[in-house]
Chain A
């Protein structure tokens, strides 16, 4: 298996632009998570899905952030409009079942908003 695949690896955009981050989970995994990593706040959960349905989006910082999972093999995290404080590394992770089977992380997308 190729693991969790995220794209792009790096994204530089100007403030106010729309940014879309993409994630392909491991086939057969029924949970998908989006995390954000910053120096100040560490790794924080933004949203997670179970069987393509958003379960908890309480970590999404603002209405500018939205996430979708149209099918079991694809998810997007969108920021519109982007701001410099959104600069961070965004990780996608997937798992089979809850907790006990472990979580596999993608390589992350490093977002820089200038």
Chain B
């Protein structure tokens, strides 16, 4: 069975600092997809990014960037110049190419950005 580990339960930084959220995954499948979701205080799950196992290119979207390294089974998420609005719980998740089992989520990292 697959597993996603987010070792950082909570991170607190001051606004404008850069912050990296770690994600380590386990799966025996060679085809899989990795995701990051944001859950703001309002509670909804907001999709941020999807990556397939064959594409290790890093991605940047504005202040957000993602680093996918198959060698270490990691898919880390960095926020540059953090803002108070980035405060939320962030979930890393994995799904298999077969679709079996849907999304397996990590426990989440609660990110607090202090003004």
Contact = CB atoms under 8 A, between A and B. Distances in A.
B68 interface: no
A56 B47 contact: no
Contacts of B103: 33, 35, 43, 45, 93, 103
B105 A98 contact: no
A31 B99 contact: yes
A21 to B, nearest CB: 15
Interface in B95-110: 95-108
Contacts of A105: 37, 44-45, 47
Interface residues of A, number: 24
Nearest to A47: B102
B35 A45 contact: no
B32 interface: yes
B105 A42 contact: yes
Nearest to A104: B47
Contacts of A23: none
Contacts of B64: none
Interface in A4-43: 31, 33, 35, 42-43
Nearest to A43: B105
Nearest to B105: A43
B70 interface: no
A61 interface: no
Contacts of B33: 99-100
| Closest CB pairs A-B (n = 5) | A98-B99, A99-B95, A43-B105, A105-B45, A99-B33
9 contacts: A31-B102, A33-B102, A35-B102, A43-B103, A45-B104, A93-B102, A93-B103, A99-B33, A110-B43
Given A42-B105, A99-B97, A108-B44, 20 more contacts: A35-B102, A42-B106, A42-B107, A43-B91, A43-B103, A45-B102, A45-B104, A97-B99, A98-B95, A98-B96, A98-B98, A98-B99, A100-B50, A100-B52, A103-B35, A103-B95, A105-B44, A105-B45, A107-B43, A108-B43
Interface of A: 31, 33, 35, 42-45, 48, 50, 56, 89, 91, 93, 97-100, 102-105, 107-108, 110
